[in-house]
Structure 1
Amino acid sequence: MDYDRLSTRGKDQSQALGAHLLAAGTTPTRVVSGNMKRQRQTAQRLIEAAGWDTTAVVDPGWDEFDATDLLNAYPEEDPSAKTDSRAFQRLLEKASARWASNNHDADYLESFSAFTQRIDTALDDAVEGLGPGRDAVVVSSSGAIAWAAARLVNGGFPQWLALNRVTVNSGVTKIVTGSSGKTMVTFNDHGHLPRAWVTYR
């Protein structure tokens, strides 16, 4: 199964968000997307639904962490995780804690520190030189968005894990930047979605 593609529901969510942003009068100066296929597909559908005359800039810094890599390195297995989403979530969170401990960095393609540093850099790059009254729209994935949010509340792994757990597909996190730095004013807003369309991961 090709996980890195936009599902039918994902297409609906992207279009709903685009229509919402169009109605809100949002016209971004730039649109940035991670390099994963589903991220690029989301950005394209969002642009089309919002009617923006722009092309998304691809920044691999916004790519998601590799959950398969984390699970492959974790020394325990749970057969029920293959069919039970709650069991899978528990296993992933245990594997994430091992990853974030920085005691086993050699076991991973990307350490937790490297992951968080690239998200920090990608966020800085996304808002660089925007100027007053100008917006950037970034299309990414739950782990990356959760870290950007955790960083802005001076949090660490526990905050990242909690935020990652509840991030809704196509949810909107709004960040403002100014002379005092970056401030998160909303996290995971998904009021543009019908309840039946709310999905995670």
Structure 2
Amino acid sequence: MGRLLLVRHGQASFGADDYDELSGLGGEQARVLGESFARRGIRPDLVLCGSLRRHAGTVRGILDGLSLEGLSLDGPGDPAIPVTADPGWDEFDFQHVVEIHQPRYRDRAYLAAELARSDEPGRAFQEIFEAATGRWCSGENDAEYAESFPAFRERIAGALERAGDLLRQHRDIVAVTSGGPIALAVAMLTAGPKGDPATVAAMWAALNRVAVNTGVTKLVSGRRGLWMSTYNEHTHLESAPRLLTYR
């Protein structure tokens, strides 16, 4: 019985010019997770990750915490744990989704100024994000997006299928990805192959809202395919509350 551990990346640089880089705290979260894996005797046979820099940075932090060398994402090597990039695990382009919802937010300075006027910028952005993604996954405006929500579903279903195939060769796989793909994978597995699209979208929105940076979701491979064992587990962060972040 194989295990697929889906790991949300460490904290990215929200509010900075380049969101895709891990923050210093995000790198620490990843190392702490790797150390937790080492204490628990978890040594993956393979690491998958999306193609984003925050994914690669999280992989490096986890491997550092495990005190093992992984394959450089920039070239070949002889790794203790091989690492393979799979763009199927990339996050959806949330900035594009927000900008389609509110075209004035194409001006990043305008958005930053609007958030700065709020007493709680993080909460204010979350409200914008939820309104924008609600429109995106409603099914009523698919043609307006570079990647519609049904296309996102299809992409994540493909990534899950490839990971399931790899579990025939590897007992334990870690896949470093983002909150959106993890929430959608769980929503689809929970709803089943005949799950109503509106139900899947609602489940996805609820699950994505509570995703923790470096939270771990465990999927188990059995005779009937993949099923969810745990979602968003983050006990490795609980000893230091400052490490617990959602964005």
Task: Name the TM-score, length of structure 1 as normaliser.
Answer: 0.93
Structure 2 residue 225 is the aligned partner of structure 1 residue 188: no
Partner of 1:57: 84
Larger RCO, structure (CA 8 Å, separation 6 or more): 2
**2:50/2:85 contact within 8 Å kept:** yes
How many residues are aligned here?
201
Q: Over aligned residues, Cα RMSD in angstroms?
A: 1.9
Give the alignment partner of residue 115 of structure 2, picking from 82, 87, 94. Answer: 82
2:220–2:226 CA contact under 8 A, matched in 1: yes
One-letter identity of the residue aligned with 1:58:
A
**Equivalent residue of 2:81, what SS?**
coil
Task: Give the TM-score, by structure 2 length.
Answer: 0.76
Map 1:1-201 → 2, pairs under 5 A: 1-52=17-68, 53-75=80-102, 82-83=115-116, 84-131=121-168, 134-154=171-191, 156-193=200-237, 194-201=240-247
2: CA distance between counterparts of 1:24 and 1:12? 18
**What's the secondary structure of 2:246's corresponding residue?**
coil
* Alpha-carbon displacement from aligned partner over 1:136-189 (angstroms, at most 9, x marks no partner): 100001111111111121151111111111000001100001102211111111
Contact 2:212 2:244 in 1 (8 A): yes
In 2, are the aligned partners of 1:81 and 1:91 still within 8 Å (CA)?
A: no
Indicate the structure (1 or 2) with the bigger Cα radius of gyration.
Answer: 2
What does the per-residue CA deviation read over 1:105-142, in whole Å, with 9 as the maximum and x for residues that have no partner?
22211100111111111112112142387011000011
Contact 1:64–1:142 (8 Å) recurs in 2: yes
Q: Which runs of 5+ in 1 are unaligned?
A: none
Structure-1 separation of matches of 2:170 and 2:99? 45
The answer to whether the 8 A contact 2:164-2:226 is kept is no
Q: Percent identity?
A: 40
Q: Which runs of 5+ in 2 are unaligned?
A: 1-16, 69-79, 106-110, 192-198
Q: Which is worse superposed, 85-94 or 75-84? A: 75-84
CA distance in 2, matches of 1:60, 1:133: 20
Question: In the alignment, residue 50 of structure 1 is paired with which amino acid?
Answer: L
